[in-house]
Chains A and B, each alone.
Chain A
């Protein structure tokens, strides 16, 4: 499988990264270099192999469904690029 400039444009949109149109072909070429290399996995027979999802124990620990933290608006907002009162500030979303 290989990607063209239009596919890169679509992926970049999904990833929310702005890419100038003139940069798309070079980026497609770079990604194809990597994708062609990882194609080698196709030759591995994985019939019936259970996919390995995590790095550690197969079963994650449970915890009680209780509030352990909160009421820290100032700490949460301390690094915000823009804020209005106790809210993050963003450009108008709804007209």
Chain B
């Protein structure tokens, strides 16, 4: 028997429209699944069951009245970086205290406008800074996958959108919002065997999303397959006057692009993405992906992105610099937690010492240092110049190809205790994803195979600015060829 949580978003949408399933039944099935699995996975920081059921009842009324909206009755989880009106928003940090935003973020508001049901707020690395979800003040998230011969070792779901990816993989959310500053949608999606797209910078409004690094942050979906991502992104995206970097561009029908195929497309394979120490299985999967696309009618082109190896160091100047500025607002005065001090400066310093975790402090200090007098030119200005060269690498590559195919991550999911002592080793997780953020390009992670230990591995498709349609077309072709149907050990 097919249970409601087995349905993809496209299938659930059809079942709701055909009235073979009610929105209340669907939402209740997800709430039951959350109650069963979340105590172990810790993917949700908060579950808003009552509100979800009320929204679902409204959706049923709309469907009955023939006024259903595009996402009517679809139960989603919301990364707890999106401000949700009247619902506590934490950014995975203690410093926000009991903060309840009086407003709704534009992206989550767009989803509500289109009829989505919100199940709750999803766990994440503190202020979206991390690649394992281990920096959350609300505890780590467990990856629902585990190694074939080792059910005991708990693996990380990736980060920072670890709660989003784990919830979708375990089927305790039908889809989830996420954000990506250096790989925070694509790396956890790959670690959890689900799909996720970081759209072009400017495609989704950043308004109402807790800011990390404003020139890199971009919202996107994580969902079970490529089509479900296309369905969600169409609702999430769109021009917003409240974000000065929001692009005033029409939102295409992404879903139509998923089945477009790759015949005649030129797919670039960047030679610099072969990194030292990359497992042979990932290289093999990449070669497999290349063969799939060639068989589907694409032309494979070797391209060079010579500044690739400088992308992560560039990111670890630019992102902390922007973060140190953005996080200056958490001072214990206007909202969030406060620790009293002898005077105002002491209040600031003690509030921030108690409220921020170790990784967030580390990045604020790095950012403050690279922006400080005497070091600005050597670090920050230099990084902005290298960023321009990284973007130029892509501009030149697009003269020879329409999209790029790369691995999504340099490894499969690792154990919760395996990479904690060395920050730089953790940062290397984003080696394949961070370039798209620096250049502002859309990138999608698609599950494509399993490693020898039975863990999912993903491929990444990167496209030109505002050409998510080609990204969806290529990702759809990879997905159809891969036929990825494996499911994790922990699943609703």
Contacts and interface: CB of A to CB of B under 8 A. Distances in A.
B337 interface: yes
A48 B333 CA distance: 44
Given A11-B368, A52-B384, A18 B350 contact: yes
A11 B374 CA distance: 13
A16 B352 contact: yes
Interface footprint category on B:
35 or more
B57 to A, nearest CB: 28
Contacts of B381: 51
A38 interface: yes
B356 A60 contact: no
Contact of B362 (A31, A39, A76): A31
Nearest to B389: A49
A71 interface: no
Contact of B356 (A14, A17, A33, A50): A17
B373 to A, nearest CB: 10
A85 interface: no
A56 B424 contact: no
Interface in A26-77: 27, 30-31, 33-35, 37-42, 44, 46, 49-57, 60-61, 63, 72, 75-76
A23 to B, nearest CB: 10
Contacts of B331: 16
A7 to B, nearest CB: 8
B424 A60 contact: no
B46 interface: no
Nearest to B324: A15
A8 B335 CA distance: 28
Nearest to A93: B344
Contacts of A56: 201-202, 245, 247, 440
B334 A11 contact: no
A43 B338 CA distance: 44
Nearest to A78: B102
Interface in B73-112: 97-100, 102
A19 B354 CA distance: 10
Interface in B155-211: 201-202
A91 B341 contact: yes
Nearest to B332: A81
A65 B332 CA distance: 31
Contacts of A15: 324, 352, 364-365, 368
Contact of B345 (A16, A37, A55): A16
B370 to A, nearest CB: 8
Contacts of A72: 102
Counting from the closest, the 3 A-B pairs by CB-CB distance are A51-B384, A79-B335, A46-B385
Interface of A: 1, 3, 7-8, 11-19, 27, 30-31, 33-35, 37-42, 44, 46, 49-57, 60-61, 63, 72, 75-76, 78-82, 88, 90-93
Given A3-B369, A17-B364, A46-B386, 19 more contacts: A27-B362, A30-B423, A33-B422, A33-B423, A37-B316, A39-B313, A41-B314, A42-B382, A51-B381, A52-B384, A55-B215, A55-B216, A60-B244, A61-B244, A61-B248, A79-B100, A79-B336, A81-B335, A81-B338
